[in-house]
Structure 1
Amino acid sequence: MAPTILMTDPAHFEVDYVINPWMRPEDWHRDVEANRAAARAAWSGLAEALRAAGARLEVLPGAPDLPDMVFPANAAVVLDRRALLARFACVERRPEEARFRAGFRGLQARGLIDEVAELPEGLYQEGAGDCLWDAGRGQFWAGHGQRSLRGAIPHLADFFGQPIVPLELVSPRFYHLDVCFCPLPGGEVLHYPGAFAPASLAEIHDRIPVAQRIEATAEEAGLLCLNAVALGRTVVMARTSPRLRAILAERGYRVVELDLAPFILSGGAAFCMTLRLDRSTAAAVAPQALAAVPAG
């Protein structure tokens, strides 16, 4: 069955405020029309690459004055056709909640999602950007400490009934887990160690064998190439380094690099611009013996 991926039309994308260290409105406004055209081209290039890798796309409309709707990874966590909608920490993004709620209700009406639920108000958790499903380990990895609250993780565990490993993020530059941590289908995990608290980095080392850890340098993480979409043996990512490209190729992955510069101006790249709707526990292997945050 083809992977189903949600994207948001980029018509209203711009960089007009600052909520992370990547955002540079001054660069965007130097040539707004050129940047809008570049963003449309970059979005279309990503959509084309995903389709070429076998994905089926669902596209939601954006909305005026909600430029970051183009990053639907933050809209919800979705597993087994059940969606738990995000609560945004930044006031600039909170109006997106109603738009995404309506969008997911529409997906539910069309039979693409069976259930749509919400977290309590004020319990900030920013979707799949901070809750990554690792099918090979049968668990979630959940980022907290920047945008998402540690206290939201038990709610995720209860709702989905799956173990969750909390990881504390310590750098505003790596404000979501998906910009510094990428589980791959073969069991490898591409990550930037400098984004994590020492105890969380130790947790990563305990749970992932050294042979499956692919560590990015600060310079490589700064390309936002770890914010990647892996579909089978294809990894779609922003332009990366020759070193990481070679490592992934050696592991049997086909790397598709894209120029996503307009979106990197806002702190997002390929994964941020997508949300898998079809992830399923049925495709997961048995979880590792190490205990995560249990469900229930």
Structure 2
Amino acid sequence: MPDLHHEWLDRCSGGRFAAADPETRAWVAAVHAARLGAVRPEQPDGGWRIVWAGGIQENRHVRAPWNNQTGAVTAVSAGLLGGVPVAVTGSDHGVLRAWDLRTGLPLGEQRVDAHDIGSIAVMDEVVVATDWAHLFTWRPRTGETTRERHWGVGKATTVRDAGTWHVLLGQQGRVRIRGPRGPWRRIGHPGDTSAATIRVDGRRRVVVGGETTRVYDLRTGEPCGGPMGGPTRAVATAHVSGRPVAVVAGHDDTVRLWDLRTGAPRGRPRRAPLTTLATAEVDGRAVAV
């Protein structure tokens, strides 16, 4: 069996497989290969031969590692690509790969003229990726790619509003947004570097962080309320108890929640020296990572 088999066993055992002695690893690998129905499983030394094995399979949440990425994986994003749940990975060699999350099998790959891929976003049939100086698009179905020069690119995200996709691009000192047919337009103030979106009372808002945190209407670019807090490292958004909030990591190593309807702080600040933020829902509760 290839080394991928041993890596899988090590992940399933929480690292105990790699820590075992060579003879133990050989027996475990042989039993596992037979249990998976390998036609000619590897055999340990010692005279015994494993013909058949049964028993409980691996935890269904543990998947085989995707080990054929070219170079180190520097960015990853999940989404729906043509209705298929996918993960898209990017490498420091400028290779994008799309993986089917249902099977773990690769759906396609594309090398783009990039340095380290820094961020990836997925929208319908298109993958959007960035390095430090460019914005790339890739259509896995057709293989079509595009490249635009944008100096100081930080992160690209995609958002759908009223059935239309928009690309939100954070750069050094500015945040810009573009619809499917319109030109790039600036949103926010000079010095802004990060952004997140959320729906507030039926309208899509963009929360932009930089020298402070402000909220803007996605369609018009007009501000919605005043500044919230001081200099910002990262922002994320969530709904907490039915209310839209911004989660803001400040330069003072403090994380704060802001109510996006009132612009007022919510709850107590939490000390945490964070440089990036993400939010999710777990068992019906909003969590920040």
Do the structures match in fold with TM over 0.5? no
With a CA cutoff of 8 Å and minimum separation of 6, indicate the structure with the bigger relative contact order.
1
TM class, shorter-length: 0.3 to 0.5
The structure richer in helix per residue is 1
Task: Answer 1 or 2: which has greater strand percent.
Answer: 2
- TM-score, length basis structure 1: 0.36
TM-score by length of 2: 0.36
